[in-house]
Structure 1
Amino acid sequence: MTETLARADLLALADGDEERVFAAEVIAFLEEHHPPRTPADASWGTGPEALSLFHETTDEREREESRLAQGWQRTKWDAGFGWIAGPEAYGGRGLRPSFDRLYRAIEGHFAVPDMSPLRIGLGTISPVLVAHGTPYLIEEYAVRLHRGDLVGCQLFSEPEAGSDLAGARTKAVRTAEGWVLNGQKVWTSNGSFADVGLAIVRTDPAVPKHKGLTMFLVPMDTPGVEVRRIRQLTGGSSFAETFLSDVRLDDAQRLGEPGAGWRITNQALAGERRSVGDRSHELNARALGLLKVLAERVRRSDDPLIRDRWARLYVALYSARAQQVRMQATPEDRLTGAERAIDKVVVARTYRDLGALAAELLGPAFAADTGEWGTFAWTKWSLGALGFRIAGGTEEIIKTMLAERVLGLPREPK
């Protein structure tokens, strides 16, 4: 940072003397490597429309983005910022999770590479490895994920199970040499270039479904693993389907005890839901600004109904942001899972409502591409919003969980 005031603002994010010393170290490190980040431009007609909610690019470009993210992660590791809250025995700094949150808050103000390709490995896979993995699994996968050597993916969802992850049919059969996996997974982010997948599979079909699941780490180059990209409604291919055909794994690849997979899955999902909210609020704020200009351009900015809907979105957006900040400030051991579920539902609803207001303002131009900037591009936003109602757990499933487990309402009839 070149301005004293900007540095002071970043230091003000710290809580207490210990965090301020750490924040100063972080700022100096980031200043050495990257310039301050330029805020997203909400000016009408300027630059890319950027109204796709899911990352959509070529396979070659996605691999290049992963390479850049891994390079930056290695730089962070070498400087002591690659695993801030990680165990010191494995190369981490052993600091409280609040230091990791502080680092991410400061890093967000610098023009670092997009770290999305590493988010699953760092935010979903690594925490469950530390909590449930053997020293071998932590050293072989968690350390290498944080060092930037590996990219991770989730092998959870299945074609016939939907958000009912406990209904997984992919099975693992124990043999004298280890395990043999057969089945199909779907909606695999990073699937085409990931090095390792966290897979929930059925190991005991004779017990209730939640008790017959086991978690494995699957090297994606294992014989029998086949990945195929999925073409989406928007025309992009952000996800893949993964086929497991007689995939042989050593028992050392098992995470936790046989049958303990559901408990580990819930911990992993908490990280996924948190990441959905983490990256959404700036995107929503830019979209809200574009809608304001759009209302002016179509001469409906004085329409009381439009003004009311826009104001409601404004309040919803900043309420969601406040919920996210509150959640990030809560120690991990005090989070119940409900906070992240609420955040996911609120974010998905905001996406949907932003798209609905765009459709109201645009009329036929929402569905017919005239080539005008900021019009037809909203179609990709709304189609992507449908996907976010599924990502991290289907909206209906999460609402049912909140109703029954948080509000104490009667259970849904089966």
Structure 2
Amino acid sequence: MNAVEEFRAEVRDWLAANLSGEFAGLQGRGGPGREHELFAERLAWERHMAAAGWTCVGWPKEHGGRGATIEEQVAFHEEYALADAPARVGHIGEQLLGPTLVALGLPEQQRRFLPGIVAARELWCQGYSEPDAGSDLAGVRTRAERDGEEWVITGQKIWTSLAHEADWCFVVARTEPGSTRHRGLSYLLVPMDQPGVEVRPITQLTGTCEFNEVFFDAARTHVSHVVGEPGEGWQVAMATLGFERGVSTLGQQVGFRRELETLIDLAVRNGAADDPLIRDRLARAWVGVETIRFNALRMLDGVAAGAPGPEASIGKILWATWHRELGELAMDVCGAGGMLAAGEPYELDAWQRLFLFSRSDTIYAGSNEIQRNIIAERVLGLPKEPRP
């Protein structure tokens, strides 16, 4: 047994031993469209993992991680998904902000913020999108002005995942008056529990509220809480987006495969698989999920180099489009009964939630349109899209 297989076995054994007792009921809970499920209990699980050294496994040891290799990180995320362990509540801090601070943060920023992420004491949210600047991040209007030893932030963010649970938010704001596009932006770390920060949940098609609007009305953060130099936040924000499409996506593929296998079982049981068109679509879905996995493995070369390159955009288009189409296929497999809510007033089953929430897959974390532009410009060398 080589080192990676030993690590995989260690992860598998720990999960089998610990997803029991008070945590036994957490299997399969949480995730997209279901982040409201047992949130406090999942946070307790996250802290239990932290105490055993199973958070931030890919971080360097000097920052509280295990220093796991890329192969070991893949093994961890795959085994976590195979165990049907609960969706992580500290994902944004662990997978997005943490690696950004490790790569680009000042030593004092690393000392202040990384331990809280490792221990799951402080949860984070991402302040990127705005009502008029969604996938086009360079269009942000939220501004921050220097006032002595503080930044004063005013503006609005939207589609902010788990802002209602977060302790901190990393915010892209315009700090140079008169600047446009990607120039003059800064990447600020802003506490959520303060006057001047208002969080308004957004009710989704699923009836749940994991996304939020966040309003900053002269909210404040210390002048030292800017990552990178003021005015150079675009580069920092792009680095964060690269980490967002990193190794953890391999665990996501395991979840996709489980959804497909369960759907195939349903199609066989209810007779939908007798329809040759349904059978063909199920087969195409199987080919699709295999393609997604192979592309994700190819992307790991970029991860090993520090952050995924443009090939990460290919992966985003692949999995987002595939998952949206799986939701549509699920409704056809369910038949007319899939149009009826499972209970009052608006109780949805797993396939209905999948169909409704997966409509957003091709929009969040960079819309398909923006990903195609990145591929066209940075991979194929085509002219940039005209801008007004």
Q: Normalized against structure 2, the TM-score is what?
A: 0.86
Shift of residue 218, structure 1, vs aligned partner: 0.9
1:360 to 305, 312, 332: 332
Shift of 1:190: 2.3
1:344 CA displacement: 1.4
Equivalent in the alignment of 1:344:
316
Q: Deviations over 1:34-54 (max 9, x none)?
A: 43879xxxxxxxxx9989842
Of 240-249 and 260-269, the range deviating more from structure 2 = 240-249
1:301, distance to aligned residue in structure 2 (A)? 2.3
Deviations 1:244-264 (A, max 9, x none): 111122211111101111111
8 Å Cα contact 1:274-1:344 kept in structure 2: no
Q: Structure 1 pair 236/275, CA: closer, same or farther in 2 (3 Å)?
A: farther
Q: CA deviation at 1:329?
A: 5.8
Matched, 1:383 2:356: yes
| Separation (CA, whole Å) in 1 of partners of 2:376 and 2:71 | 30
1:158-190, Cα deviation, whole Å (9 max, x unpaired) = 122111111111100112232100111112222
1:24/1:379 Cα in 2 relative to 1: closer, same or farther (>3 Å)? closer
State the match for 1:72 in structure 2.
49
Give the C-alpha shift of residue 153 in structure 1.
Answer: 1.3
1:282 maps to 254
C-alpha RMSD of matched pairs (Å): 3.0
Look up the match of 2:305: 333
Q: Tell me the secondary structure at the aligned position of residue 122 of structure 1.
A: helix
Among 206, 213, 235, which residue is 1:234 paired with? Answer: 206
What's the CA shift string for 1:49-91, capped at 9, x where partnerless? Answer: 9898422426xx3133123212311321xxxx54544445444
Letter of the 1:396 counterpart: E
Give the counterpart of 1:170 among 132, 136, 142.
142
Q: How does 1:6-405 map to 2 (within 5 A)?
A: 11=1, 14=2, 19-20=3-4, 24=6, 27-28=9-10, 31=13, 34-35=16-17, 53-57=32-36, 61-76=38-53, 82-92=55-65, 94=67, 96-108=69-81, 114=86, 116-274=88-246, 277-328=249-300, 331-333=303-305, 336-369=308-341, 377-405=350-378
Say which SS state the counterpart of residue 92 (structure 2) adopts. Answer: helix
Instruction: Output the CA distance in 1 between the equivalents of 2:205 and 2:83.
Output: 33
Any idea what the Cα deviations from partners look like across 1:136-174, whole Å, max 9, x if unmatched? 110110222113322111111112211111111110011
- SS at 1:210's partner residue? coil
Tell me, in whole angstroms, the C-alpha distance in 2 between the residues paired with 1:312 and 1:69: 36
- Tell me the distance in 2 between the aligned counterparts of 1:396 and 1:175: 38
Residue identity opposite 2:124 in structure 1: G
CA contact (8 A) 1:368 1:376 kept: no
CA distance in 1, matches of 2:336, 2:316: 31
Q: Bigger shift: 391-400 or 288-297?
A: 288-297
Equivalent-residue separation in structure 2 for 1:344 and 1:294 (angstroms): 27
Between the aligned partners of 2:138 and 2:206, the Cα distance in structure 1 is 29
Secondary structure of residue in 2 paired with 1:378 = helix
Closer, same or farther: CA 355–110 of 1 in aligned 2, 3 Å: closer
Quick one: percent identity of the two aligned structures?
Answer: 33
Residues 76-134 of structure 1: CA deviation (Å, up to 9, x unaligned): 1xxxx5454444544445565444444444555557x5352111101100111122211
- 1:366 to 1:166, Cα distance in 2 relative to 1, 3 A: same
Structure 2 gap ranges (5+):
21-26
Q: Is the CA contact (8 Å cut-off) linking 2:153 and 2:219 kept in structure 1? A: yes
Q: TM-score, normalised by structure 1?
A: 0.81
User: Which 10-residue stretch deviates more, 283-292 or 200-209?
Assistant: 283-292
Question: Is the contact made by 2:299 and 2:308 (CA closer than 8 Å) also made in structure 1?
Answer: no
1:201-228 residue CA offsets vs partner (Å, 9 max, x unmatched)? 1111423320111001112223322222
Structure index of larger Rg: 1
Q: Distance in 2 between matches of 1:307 and 1:33?
A: 35
**Structure 1 unaligned spans of 5+:** 1-10, 39-47
Structure 2 residue matching 1:216: 3-state secondary structure: strand
* Amino acid paired to 1:142: L
Q: Deviations over 1:2-60 (max 9, x none)?
A: xxxxxxxxx4xx5xxxx35xx6467457636743879xxxxxxxxx99898422426xx
Report how many residues are paired.
377
CA shift, 1:319, in A, is: 1.0
Contact 2:77 2:251 in 1 (8 A): no
